[in-house]
A and B are shown apart, each in its own frame.
Chain A
Amino acid sequence: MFKSDCEGFHRRNFLQVGSAGLLGLTLPDLLRSEARAATKDKKVEAKAKGVILVWLAGGPATIDMWDNKPEAPEGIRGEFKSIDTSAKGVQYSECLPKMAQIADKVTTVRSLAHTIPSHGPATVFMTTGNKPTAAIQYPSYGSLCAKLLSVPKGIPPYVSFADLRSGAAGGAGYLGTAYNPFGVEGSGGGGGEKGGATMRVRGISLPQGFSLEDLEKRDKLLNAFDQGFRDLDKNGDLVEGLDAFHQQAIDILRSDKTKVAFDLSKEKDSLREAYGKNPFGQSALAARRLIEAGVRFVTISTGGWDTHSNNFTALKTRLLPNLDQTLSTLIKDLDDRGLLENHIVMCAGEFGRTPKINKNAGRDHWARSMACVIAGGGFKRGYGHGTTDASGMAPATDAVTPDDLGITIFKQLGIEPNTEINTPTGRPMLLFREGKVVDKMIA
């Protein structure tokens, strides 16, 4: 009767979807493959396949970086001179000489602004493209990529080297736990020869001392113990779904494609050196390798940007030299390999810092003007977008908001900005509540 066709239906369905890669799927996704098909016709032509987000946690003083103001009055202008870059009309602070050399590859956004000068919610805004509200938790860009873009089997769609705001940002929000980032554990191995060897994506690789052989043996035993529930397979979505997950898990652990990505010893030592033999530099290199393996969104992060005091010393001696080296190498490396054409690098923090310098030679939180750089994936090369007023307090021309950036990035990824996703409670949500595509940034 009715039940015979239903039994066969589920099993077949799992296997089909399974071959498309399953790391970012929940059970309902599995069961609603037609829903996935429906999102397809929402797609516009994709110019970019993936994104590397270089996150500057704490809120960088972009007024001393990408939008330096040496002409501003004392008490605002800061200690750094500006230097010309390889992009016409774009100047950076003197502490970013390597970025200045490759500015002809990036879009420098000087007129970014929002209104939340508080770390948590500002991080959420910048990494989701939606102003945080109490009513709903928006998914991060990476989680949206996990939901909307497909990945090869065994490849995690969204990998993060850092928990943003201890996990309060960068997560899946209303999409549910399946779309959270896969975290990286182990170290990038600063100077050591075997650096990178201990890095792995938590939860999709076998840890050291647990061989594939061990796994096969244990799995045989597990199958024997799981007999009791095997009889339920044909009845419940949940029980059968977990079985499908189990099969997938075994496949993933067998193949372990990300393991290769983390084998940084495959890279020339000179390149590893160029990225910077520190955890941040090596994570950038690993990010590139992950993107090459098919990961859609990688977040790497470096902290210490919350410079309420001694802003200039911290920037000059520590923060900017590191960023300059790693970010310029990442962009150049991607370009050399032809990957920059279809991959986006975005470097930003949650907000900028006050143009006015405080009594501790620091700058405080300032969201009303900030700058960031975006490269690749169809964003213009050598372009400076917008300006701020003379003292850097607010955008003067071509102001953009975090949602504008998000919507533009997603358009480049081939996602129609008006795509709707249902929350677990069935409420249809637009990917971006506000914001519009910034055509001027697109080549």
Chain B
Amino acid sequence: MRYFFPLLIAVGFSPVVSRADVQLPSGEKLKEVDFERHIMGLLSKSGCNNGSCHGSFQGKNGFRLSLFGLEPEKDHKALTREQLGRRINISDPDSSLLLQKAAGLTSHDGGARFSKDSWQYNVFREWIRTGGYWKKGSGEVKSIELHPKEYILIAAGESTRIKVTATYSDDSKEDITPFAEYRIQDDAVAQIDLAGKLTAKKPGDSGFVVLYRGQVASARILVPTPTEKNFVYPKIEQVNPIDKEVQDKLRMLNVIPSDKVGDAEFLRRVTIDTTGNLPTPDEVRKFLADPSPNKRERKIDELLKHPLHAAVWATKFSDITGNNTTALEQPAEWQTRKSQMWHEWLRKRFYENMPYDQIVKGILTATSREGLTPEAYIESVRKIDEAAAKNDYSEYAKRETLDLFWRRQQQVPSNEWGEKVAAAFLGVRLECAQCHKHPTDRWTQADYRSFANIFSAVTSTGFSNPEIQKLVNAENTARREKAMAANAKVNNNQINLVREMYLTPRVPPKNLFGHPETGVTLPLKALGGPELKGNDPREELFKWMVSPENPFFARSFVNRVWAHYFGVGLVDPVDDFSLANPPVNSRLLDLLAKEFIESRFDIRKLERQILMSRTYQTSYLPNETNRFDKNNFAKSYVRPMMAEFVVDVLNGATGSTQNFGKEIPEGARMVEVGASRIQDANLAFILRVFGRPPRTTACDCERASEPALPQTLFRMTDQSVLRRLTDPNGRLMKLLKEKKDDNEVFEELVLATLSRFPTEAEKENFKKHRAEAKDRTSAFVDTLWALINTREFILQH
């Protein structure tokens, strides 16, 4: 009977308990404590229902709350009924286990969440004292509103109060500022207390997110740089609308862009960004000597048409689309070849500047047969494979669709396709919603599953009809026999067999996801979009994606392009478009997306506009006002290069060539390699040290962009680098054989590594070193070593 004891008291006594106001830190008084509105808010705000605390699916020390407080009914029951009702004690609120634990008065693994004399304690206490009631639906939130909106402009050292208003399902409104959670993305810029008092610490720009009972609101905190009295914002060149949007924002922050970048610096930056390679010494000389005023424009156009430029995007899209060699169909050699086909398919399209939507269509709606008759299909596979065996991957690239995207050695569950597609083409991360509603975004488990169902018909097991099966069997028997003639012990995993990726005409309902609670089979549905039907629902998904109203498709791609050229996205990380990750400059993002759609997804036009902008052509050297700028593009951000670029740039500087494996065409650069699995141990090592991703996960977040000490040590000590310096066919040894004096050789090395002429001081230092060195060769080996170990060399700037 003790089980119900507290509840009986609650029912018996509550009407006569007089209410007392609770003083809130905002200065207001809370007249009535409501379970859903206030208690649930505080449980989240105090961290009680986190995944690592009582929100864990196993609970914690026998006490489980719903994760992030999304289920008030369960939580009310856990608080009032379980543990023999000891968690709350209405006749003696202070002895309630809930308060004892939360205030750290008895042992609590989670420590004290608030003190006994705090307002939170009083809110909980008052709720318990007045009966511990739960009014179902009283706090069902329709929306929350943050004031001020969009930008919170505040001077360093000053404070302001923000206000959060919730609108509930009965249309009542309440100021719930103390009950909401706050997150400041860059806490060096500002801090906020529990009551919503925001204090600016340092000039800068940070995302600010408010969470309240599953609802999210966001704004940006802008802390302008302090200025002299007579400060007048100077007029800065605006080449195109990008510059206007960037400068409009900078003006709010009193931040002035750095000077326009010099020619040498520009050439190096744009060449690395577009091709992953350095300009050669001759290219540098020629560009610097060119007096024509539009030489930058011409250079940009030339580079955007460069085959290596298409290779850069093929490499990036190999990351984005998950070109993971190890997961492709065996045998191992053909996994590598298939990776290369994948890369080549992408590269051809970027090279031809195919509209972005058409590229995505070729991936998203791919099938192996593309409507070919069985005979024609097998014939096409034969042709592709024969060419590929000779390292010619162009036959595959001619296919309309990239069926390899959907073809893996092991069948991929439909929900993983959902995650991959959402991350790759919408920039949305869904994986949280597999197990629970996304804590800071709108996606529910039902959304996740409905989206997954779109891909339930995708398969590469078996064949689409008996006729093709018969023909493929015959072809595969022939391939098997041929292989066995060469090696009697060969097994299926060692033979490149013909397979087919197709859509099962009828998906049994048991293969479709049901609703997480009711189990009722969920319809196929785009994310926050319509239900999809048709023989190939992926085609309808594609139509939904490319409609101009789609909030993700164009924005996610323009953001990726932006992030490639600036090192940081307008939404950053690039694949995290969510309510809780507001864009740093939403007007600029909107503008780019709108123009991209209007141009019918013309990638090169978008890139050209970015590269032509004054914003891209800004120096990395800071001025007094933009020293701390990290996300408003007032200067060019010094940043590490992609691992593939490091390999090519090192080879370029030292004049070395490298063999990337027997499946890769001779003379290829690293950015032209499709495979994620690299046989050569030295190459695999450098790629790993510099953070090339294995492409195993659904997002491109796995590429590590942070430098680490092993990278420094690698350049200083690794044999594979040191060997390049003295490579008989390398740049230095060749130079030493030519009739060049020391100064000329030195100049050539500086041009080859830093893409500029040496300064007078550098020449002096070299001379000194040369005089002390034991011989000419070692003096120059030392010099080349020193040059590739400078930060100027290894960083993009």
Q: Which residues of A line the B interface, CB within 8 A?
A: 1-3, 6, 22-23, 25-28, 118, 120, 132-137, 163, 166-168, 171, 174, 176-178, 180, 182-183, 202-207, 210, 214-215, 217-222, 224-229, 231-232, 235-236, 238-239, 241-243, 245-246, 248-249, 252-253, 418, 420, 423-425, 427-428, 430
User: Can you add 15 more A-B contacts, CB < 8 Å, to A137-B702, A246-B712?
Assistant: A2-B202, A27-B706, A133-B697, A163-B684, A168-B696, A171-B688, A178-B708, A204-B713, A221-B783, A229-B790, A232-B622, A243-B791, A245-B707, A245-B709, A249-B712
Q: How far is the CA of A424 from the CA of B787 in the complex (A)?
A: 31
Looking across the interface, which residue of chain A has its beta carbon closest to that of B188?
A6
Provide the residues of chain B in CB contact with A245, threshold 8 Å.
707-709, 711-712
Provide the residues of chain B in CB contact with A243, threshold 8 Å.
791
The answer to whether A218 and B51 touch across the interface, beta carbons within 8 angstroms, is no
Provide a sorted-by-A list of 20 A–B residue pairs whose CB atoms are within 8 angstroms. Answer: A3-B628, A134-B416, A135-B419, A137-B694, A168-B696, A176-B708, A183-B685, A202-B685, A203-B689, A218-B782, A219-B786, A221-B786, A222-B785, A222-B789, A225-B792, A238-B707, A243-B791, A245-B712, A248-B709, A249-B709
Q: How far is the CA of A134 from the CA of B695 in the complex (A)?
A: 10
The answer to whether A227 and B761 touch across the interface, beta carbons within 8 angstroms, is yes
Looking across the interface, which residue of chain A has its beta carbon closest to that of B201?
A2
The answer to whether B697 and A224 touch across the interface, beta carbons within 8 angstroms, is no
Bitwise interface map of B from 618 to 640 toward A, beta carbon under 8 Å scored 1, else 0: 00111000011000000000111
Say yes or no: A207-B786 contact (C-beta < 8 A), given A26-B706, A177-B690, A178-B706.
no
**What 4 A-B pairs have minimum CB-CB distances, sorted nearest first?**
A178-B708, A224-B765, A135-B431, A176-B704
Q: Is B226 an interface residue, CB under 8 A from the partner?
A: yes
Provide the residues of chain A in CB contact with B696, threshold 8 Å.
132, 134, 137, 168
Bitwise interface map of B from 689 to 701 toward A, beta carbon under 8 Å scored 1, else 0: 1110010111101
The answer to whether B710 and A182 touch across the interface, beta carbons within 8 angstroms, is yes
The answer to whether B712 and A242 touch across the interface, beta carbons within 8 angstroms, is yes
The answer to whether A167 and B688 touch across the interface, beta carbons within 8 angstroms, is yes
Q: How far is the CA of A224 from the CA of B773 in the complex (A)?
A: 16
Q: How far is the CA of A225 from the CA of B769 in the complex (A)?
A: 12
Stretch from B96-104, B116-124, B716-724 contacting the other chain: B716-724
Q: Is B30 an interface residue, CB under 8 A from the partner?
A: no
Partner of A168, one of B326, B620, B685, B689: B326
Say yes or no: A253-B716 contact (C-beta < 8 A), given A28-B706, A176-B708, A238-B640.
yes
Say yes or no: A25-B709 contact (C-beta < 8 A), given A176-B691, A225-B765, A239-B791.
yes
Provide the residues of chain A in CB contact with B226, threshold 8 Å.
1-2
The answer to whether A2 and B708 touch across the interface, beta carbons within 8 angstroms, is no
B542 to chain A, nearest CB (A): 22
Looking across the interface, which residue of chain A has its beta carbon closest to that of B639?
A238
The answer to whether B762 and A249 touch across the interface, beta carbons within 8 angstroms, is no
Partner of A221, one of B640, B690, B706, B765: B765
Provide the residues of chain B in CB contact with A22, threshold 8 Å.
709
Q: Is B579 an interface residue, CB under 8 A from the partner?
A: no
Provide the residues of chain A in CB contact with B773, threshold 8 Å.
217
Bitwise interface map of B from 643 to 662 toward A, beta carbon under 8 Å scored 1, else 0: 00000000000000000000
Looking across the interface, which residue of chain B has its beta carbon closest to that of A240?
B791
Q: How far is the CA of A166 from the CA of B410 in the complex (A)?
A: 19
Interface centre among A6, A167, A203 (most CB of B within 10 A): A203
Interface centre among B627, B698, B714 (most CB of A within 10 A): B627
Which residues 730-762 of B have a CB within 8 angstroms of A?
A: 759, 761-762
Partner of A177, one of B431, B628, B704, B713: B704
Provide the residues of chain A in CB contact with B785, threshold 8 Å.
218, 222
A339 to chain B, nearest CB (A): 27
B625 to chain A, nearest CB (A): 11
Provide the residues of chain B in CB contact with A206, threshold 8 Å.
717
A109 to chain B, nearest CB (A): 24
Q: Is B677 an interface residue, CB under 8 A from the partner?
A: yes
Q: Is B573 an interface residue, CB under 8 A from the partner?
A: yes
Q: Is B674 an interface residue, CB under 8 A from the partner?
A: no
The answer to whether B52 and A420 touch across the interface, beta carbons within 8 angstroms, is yes
Q: Is B432 an interface residue, CB under 8 A from the partner?
A: yes
The answer to whether A137 and B719 touch across the interface, beta carbons within 8 angstroms, is no
The answer to whether A226 and B702 touch across the interface, beta carbons within 8 angstroms, is no
Q: Is B420 an interface residue, CB under 8 A from the partner?
A: yes
Q: How far is the CA of A118 from the CA of B203 in the complex (A)?
A: 53
B751 to chain A, nearest CB (A): 14
The answer to whether B786 and A222 touch across the interface, beta carbons within 8 angstroms, is yes
Partner of A224, one of B202, B762, B791: B762
The answer to whether A418 and B792 touch across the interface, beta carbons within 8 angstroms, is no
Provide the residues of chain B in CB contact with A222, threshold 8 Å.
785-786, 789-790
The answer to whether B698 and A135 touch across the interface, beta carbons within 8 angstroms, is yes
Q: How far is the CA of A215 from the CA of B718 in the complex (A)?
A: 13
Q: How far is the CA of A23 from the CA of B709 in the complex (A)?
A: 6
Q: How far is the CA of A378 from the CA of B429 in the complex (A)?
A: 42
The answer to whether A203 and B706 touch across the interface, beta carbons within 8 angstroms, is no
The answer to whether B762 and A225 touch across the interface, beta carbons within 8 angstroms, is yes
The answer to whether A210 and B722 touch across the interface, beta carbons within 8 angstroms, is yes
B261 to chain A, nearest CB (A): 14
The answer to whether B156 and A252 touch across the interface, beta carbons within 8 angstroms, is no
Looking across the interface, which residue of chain B has its beta carbon closest to that of A118?
B410
Say yes or no: A27-B707 contact (C-beta < 8 A), given A168-B326, A229-B790.
yes
B755 to chain A, nearest CB (A): 13
A9 to chain B, nearest CB (A): 10
The answer to whether B694 and A168 touch across the interface, beta carbons within 8 angstroms, is yes
Say yes or no: A207-B717 contact (C-beta < 8 A), given A134-B696, A221-B783.
yes
